[in-house]
Amino acid sequence: MSKTTIPTGGIADDAISEEHIDATVITGSTALAATPADTDELLISDAGTIKRIDFSHMKSVAGSEAFLVKESSTQTVSDDTYTQVSFTSEDFDVGSNFASSTFTAPSDGKYFFFANVTIAGTSAHTGSHYVSLFYKNGSAVDYLRSVYQDNANETIMAQMHITGALDLSATDTVKVYAKGNINSNTARFIDKAFGGFKLAWVIYLIK
């Protein structure tokens, strides 16, 4: 039975439960027609204890740390030598975490990266060998690499693609390295691209 009179002494602790709350608590309130501000607060149950939490702790951070860079000019490098690939043109750098051909993680988390490097030589030879890979904090990430071996005296160019996720801590760095073993001929890096973003849980607000 519903009651409209507040009992003497007020409402007891824990007296309001789900059957006492009507949907108009939500539907009758003014709608927030925009993304909540970081300091907007919501109520959650923390192991059975009701607490308030700022939206900044709940929102998805996907896209808040992302970049895409490229370079079309030729980069001449030594034969059969791992060399850092340069990227001088930014399409976007959300969070300003990319500089000097290096991505520096702004926070702990899982990140996804992708890169493209075309490696070319001045002439073909049997056994041309091309490799590209990521470096984390100055060390090769061997399990994320792209390798091409040409066994015929034909190929003088190979387009290398690498993708993968890395578990990073704040200030960890990620770079792209590559090499071309082209029988002591000068190797060149052309048509280069490098990008990435932080992986995150996405929270949906349902009304």
- The pLDDT mean for the chain works out to 82
The topology (CATH level 3) of 66-198 is Jelly Rolls (2.60.120)
Q: Where are the domains of the chain?
A: 66-198
- The CA angle 164-94-42, to the nearest 5 degrees, is 95
CB 180 within 8 A of CB 44: no
Give the pLDDT confidence of 32-91 residue by residue, as tens digits. 888 788 888 888 888 878 888 887 766 655 556 899 999 989 999 888 899 999 999 999
Asked whether residue 156 carries a pLDDT value surpassing 60, the answer given is: yes
Percent of the chain residues topping a pLDDT of 90: 39
Its pTM surpasses 0.85: no
Strands 66-71 and 139-149, by their bridges, are unpaired
- Nearest CA-CA partner of 182 in 135, 121, 114: 121
Percent of the chain residues topping a pLDDT of 70: 79
Asked whether residue 3 carries a pLDDT value surpassing 70, the answer given is: no
